[in-house]
Structure 1
Amino acid sequence: MERVIFGDNQFFAVNHISDEKSRAQSIKFKEDSAIIKTLDEARAVGINTFMCTTHDRIVNICNIIRSQPEKYKDFTIYPCMPYAHKYANAVTELGITGTIKQYVPGNFFGSMFKGGVAFLSKDYLSIMELLVDAEMKMFKNINTPVIFLQNVITDLLLGLRADEVLIAFYHYVKKKYNAEAGFITMNMPKLLDVLEKGGIENPIICASINKAGFRMSGGNDVYEDVLKTRKLRAIAMQVLGGGAIHPKEAMEYVCGLPNIESILFGASSKANIESTYNYVHAFDQQKINA
């Protein structure tokens, strides 16, 4: 995985600091061309991996990327699924049958049969596979070497102790899409325990890791101990602590931790992309020279 990964929160008006900034971002990225422009600015500084939800607008972004294969030949996307709001909105607008027709891949009646039988038999693993296939439709012919399960599902399954679904997701994306599974969580220590118990070694885990302890279940000391003593490929997200930490201070902390393979961040402007990327590079170099 690349050291720096570009996120998508800013494109869909997700801002942990203020509603005003969310509204401004919503206006700025109203057109798909604005999203592509920002992705190209990230690429220009050396960031070639985009980690995104399966928001409906990502379909258009994927279409643009597919239409310019030479330009985006080195570009990688890490899908994060599911995007729950998408399905809720679709059911409201299209009804259940219309939603299934829109999102379920392949033969409609075949998928309906698989899904219906799975539901009636309580075969939740088959339902999981069907939903993964539905979400992956938009990424056809795009390089997706890591496929992530969103924290809303990961942590729900952890709470329900449905460990077998997490393990099944790992094996399914490997078998069907020749990809590694990644897991987004707000409880990295607990998730790592479950994955290791299920036979998954050195898993890819994306978690909130920041100096302020923002959304870090158990706090900084617990996370730092896991990073020092356990085997995993950690991706640090929410590194600014919801806006509570200056980018330079935030990157200095995260870059100083062991076992952080990648740092995920989003930004709306070219200047912020460049400065954040440069902070990571500078602190990494400082660590090497120490």
Structure 2
Amino acid sequence: MAALQDSIPPKELRGRRLAQSLECRHCGFDVKGVQLEGRCPECGRPVWPSVLRWLDPERDRLPLLDHPHRVAKRLVCMADGFTLLSGLAAVALAWHASSQVSFGTSLEFLMQSAGSWSEIGITVVPLLMVVCSLGLGQERHPLGWPLRLFRLGLLGISAGNAAGMPALAALALALALLGFRSCVRSIGARSRVFREAGPERQRLFEMALASLMLAGGLFLEAWRRGADGWPWAPGFSTVLLTISSGLLVVGFLYFRRNVRWISESLCGPSPRLRTLLWAEDEALLRGWGRP
């Protein structure tokens, strides 16, 4: 099936002709003016593989995805899930901090309801992400241990929060981020824009460190409430929790924006393809890649 997709362009692009000079990857003949689904006049080989290689010279050495559309959607869902988790964690931390301050009855009830629902969400959202991650699996080129580590971390978040051990959930979040970082690097390798921009821009490793900082703050907070001593612990734990939760929220919002590089590369045409087609064909590219 993959070989067939490599030799035939999507139906939205069939009938379109090359407006710029392009050498056939097999014989070097200039195939300008040939239709995308056509064949080289010199050697008779399909033109589309030459177009794909021009769009991304590294394509031949990269393993293809079984279901690129599905993987692209799952990546966006994972980014949304992490962003939602960070927001729920921030709400839960604010709720616990406000429990030490007296408010009006109505405001106190509202904050208590928001805190309770946020804790429920922290337990449920990782489980939904585990189910959603089933779409990331590949039969021909499995993601292997990074995907398993990612799922294990998600289950740890849910279990730790349900057991009333938020510090353990924060450690599990760091574990899930490290696994997901490897998955993103493997899948993102199919995106030329992602490779040239650098995988480090996803900032998943930095967010894993922020999760460890969050776990440290939660450990200090739990220790402070369970024992006397260390008079500086309350202020220090508050600083750790505030900084780490803020870094996670901002980091996941940044990651969600950047993960669309991969999604758009898997589902849609490369922007470089516009330079190969006639000007009147550019409007046809807008719908390419939609299921």
Q: TM-score, normalised by structure 2?
A: 0.24
Higher relative contact order (CA 8 A, sep 6+): 2
Q: TM-score, normalised by structure 1?
A: 0.24
Point out the structure with max Rg over C-alpha: 2
Question: Greater strand percent: which structure?
Answer: 1
